[in-house]
Amino acid sequence: MQMKKIRVLLVKPRGFCAGVARAVEAVDSLLDHVRPHVYALHEIVHNRTLVADFERRGVIFVSSISSIPRGAVAVFSAHGVSPAARREAARRELRVLDCTCPLVAKVHAEARRYQESGYRIVLLGREGHDEVEGVWGEAPGRITLVSTPEQASNLRFEPGDKVAYLVQTTWTPDEARSIVEILRRRAPQIEGPAKNDICYATQNRQNALRAVAREADVVLVAGSANSCNSSNLAAVARAEGSVSYLLDDAGCLDSSWFDGVATVAITSGASVPETVVSGMVAWLHARFSVTVEERVMAMESVYFTACNACLKPVVEPRK
């Protein structure tokens, strides 16, 4: 029996951004030096495959600093943490490897600058997201979180208010733009960051998928549900009229998804290892006659200096 033919379009750029690559490299190095356990405040990145792998290798993920034994080795995730978490880590004498993405650190710095200048800050982002909670902690009395246009429309400003906005780095540019437009109508004096807060990788992956999605009957987005940038990629595909599935790995694939399907596009969020994508392609090869085309829509050359410069004081116990 002849196998069904499917064309697979591999969308590029996809996968690790510079911030995730930096964090993963740092934790890999840390695990070469520290036994038996390394503690991580929240998931290092929002990807179940990576988290499960690190757990197998001795990383214990916790939701609060108080769960980490005094003096232990701890990792701050790429999403950043609040000043309160840093103070608590110091009180508990933790040896900390800080893997905060430099782009997230920039948003923290902007929040501090606006707070020190007496601004009321509107933070655009997803409620409960680790990055949002960390930024909110920089100025909890001055920051208002806005997640929808409706929430932005309900805000009240006075003409003399000093108002600024910040944006979660992994939001969609279109989503942020629509809310900023509402804020500008309600507070024409509102200020924003000198440069766009939204991560270059988030923008590049969305733009690349948007350019390819309409050629595909089905779009597969490799990524975890708690990853904002991955779930936003699935939303981009739907907005372009494609059927899209957000899935952790090839084990989630279903043959029925490909009934009547001739072309499949595959991309992955900024915290997803390439092995997940190759596993999905292998799954398709095992069931269909597959031809693969790489669609390179942009080249990325961003690299962040490794945070392993802080590794020595972390891995050497205090005397």
Residues with catalytic roles: 131
Considering only CA atoms, which of 176, 191, 194, 81 is closest in space to residue 125? 176
What is the DSSP code (8-state) at residue 92? T
Both tokens of 269, joined, read 């969020």
Tell me the three state secondary structure of residue 67: helix
- Neighbouring C-beta atoms of residue 154, cutoff 10 Å: 11
What CA–CA distance (Å, rounded) separates 164 from 70?
Answer: 38
Query: How far, rounded to the nearest angstrom, does the alpha carbon of residue 250 sit from its chain's CA centroid?
Result: 21
Cβ-contact 268, 223 below 8 angstroms? yes
What CA–CA distance (Å, rounded) separates 263 from 7?
Answer: 5
Q: Looking at this protein, which amino acid is placed at residue 102? A: P
Tell me the three state secondary structure of residue 292: strand
What CA–CA distance (Å, rounded) separates 9 from 140?
Answer: 45
